[in-house]
Copies of this chain bind each other. A is one copy, B any other.
Amino acid sequence: MSRFAWKGHICHTNENKKTEIFENSWLLCEDGLCKGIYKELPEEWKNVKITDFGDKFIIPGLMDLHVHAPQYTYRGTGMDLELLDWLEKYAFPEEASYSDIEYAEKAYSVFVRDLKNSATTRASIFASIHVPATELLMDMLEESGLKTYVGKVNMDRNSPDIYREETSASAAETEHWISETENKYKNTKPIITPRFIPSCTDELMAELGNIQKLHGTAVQSHVSENPSEIVWVKELCPSSEFYSDAYDRFGLFGGENCPTVMAHCVYSDEREQKLIKERGVWIAHCPQTNMNVASGIAPVREFLDNGLKVGLGSDVAGGSSLSLFRAMTDAIMSSKLRWRLVDSTKHQLSVDEAFYMATRCGGSFFGKTGAFDEGYEFDAVVLDDSALYTPKKLSMHDRFERICYLYPEVKIVAKCVAGKSIELK
């Protein structure tokens, strides 16, 4: 039995989306699971390995529900374009480079290094269409100790020749890749990843649906991101009632044995939200991308009010930052603009709600993690905000909020995934 205890300001979010901060308290871990928060270290834990982090904050690991690993090479560039142009001019040509395994190794090693050193402990990741590069990424991520889903992307239409698959090869390679990797790793799992409806023919979608049923693999994709994209999907799938329906008809939209996360949902109407709820689909809200490629602002207040499961995605490289703190504050800021400019009946998101999405709610996609409830997997990050000296007396909640906004000035000093320590650079 492996046991340890950490001391610090323990800060997580409860089921009611409120941030709870236990000042100068003990957080216990046994065999990778949380064993409670205590003001005093219990007698029977006096002999375990303890670490006193003093005035630092201990928060749950952040959960990135949507990120494109091969796009990390060009984050922060190409931002003057809208979604479909940006895909043509930046995303597709760059992702095509990952047919070269040496290029993939150079690029992915930087991505994995930076993800490892961030406050993120788990992520759902898009790779490229290439199986060898995707497996290399999975090997590297496994080694990092982070827990991830990784998707070999499927695309058999509407992209340049250099970055498009032949339908049956795409399906066959996916099936082979899943069989090879579904039980290969401890931390890393394959996830079925049709890029989005415009990239996948009905034939391919049907094949992927069959593979999903056979293996019970998780699914990730994009839905209802951008008005031009939605019009295009309507043209491509005239018989679909709405965008998600184009996934659902192939059994690729949640439900029993098909855990699914869908990015964006900026334009998910009542019908789509109803289906998302019925199918238990997780929404990956990616506020920075929604601004950067000029898509709009997702109705997150509605999602939360309707009881949908919403996590956050950095969505590199539509987002320029891997930091989920950035995603949290972008979610808050854009919700304020939505309140002001779109719908004044829907109140802005609070920092507590953003934290809830980035931890407990996003974490639920990976199992029981993202909070320090007893029995939850022990994903934790220790944050040092001492560089932010101020003579003003700040409440603990002020300090928590300030960490979220000023994250580039906050130091990550320790990190654990399921109770295992991650070595930081």
A positions within 8 Å CB-CB of B: 72-80, 94, 97, 103, 106-107, 110, 288, 291-297, 320-321, 329, 332-334, 336-337, 339-342, 348, 350-351, 389-392, 394, 398, 401-406, 408
A334 to B293, CA, bound (A): 11
A389 to B113, CA, bound (A): 12
Q: Is the CB of B291 within 8 A of A402?
A: no
CB A182 to nearest CB in B, in angstroms, measures 30
Q: Is the CB of B79 within 8 A of A294?
A: no
Q: Is the CB of A76 within 8 A of B341?
A: no
Return the contact of A77 from the options B77, B291, B297, B394 (Cβ within 8 A): B394
- Chain B residues within an 8 Å CB radius of A342: 341
A329 to B381, CA, bound (A): 28
Return the contact of A401 from the options B77, B103, B288, B408 (Cβ within 8 A): B77
CB A180 to nearest CB in B, in angstroms, measures 26
Return the contact of A351 from the options B80, B333, B403 (Cβ within 8 A): B80
- Chain B residues within an 8 Å CB radius of A80: 332, 348, 350-351, 401
Q: Is the CB of A107 within 8 A of B341?
A: no
Return the contact of A73 from the options B72, B332, B333, B391 (Cβ within 8 A): B391
CB A113 to nearest CB in B, in angstroms, measures 10
A321 to B389, CA, bound (A): 15
- Chain B residues within an 8 Å CB radius of A329: 79, 320
The 8 closest A-B pairs by CB, nearest first: A76-B405, A408-B408, A76-B402, A294-B336, A291-B333, A73-B392, A106-B391, A320-B405
- Chain B residues within an 8 Å CB radius of A339: 294
Give me 17 A-to-B residue pairs in the complex whose CB atoms sit less than 8 angstroms apart, sorted by A's number.
A74-B390, A75-B405, A76-B404, A77-B398, A77-B402, A79-B401, A79-B405, A80-B348, A80-B401, A107-B392, A110-B389, A110-B390, A288-B333, A320-B329, A320-B406, A337-B337, A337-B341
A107-B391, A390-B110 given as contacts; is B294 within 8 A of A402 (CB)? Answer: no
Q: Is the CB of A294 within 8 A of B405?
A: no
A106's closest neighbor in chain B, by CB? B391
A391's closest neighbor in chain B, by CB? B106
- Chain B residues within an 8 Å CB radius of A390: 72-74, 107, 110
Q: Is the CB of A291 within 8 A of B74?
A: no
- Chain B residues within an 8 Å CB radius of A404: 76
Pick the most buried of A74, A78, A79, A295: most chain B CB atoms within 10 A of its CB. Answer: A79
- Chain B residues within an 8 Å CB radius of A76: 401-406
- Chain B residues within an 8 Å CB radius of A103: 391
CB A280 to nearest CB in B, in angstroms, measures 30
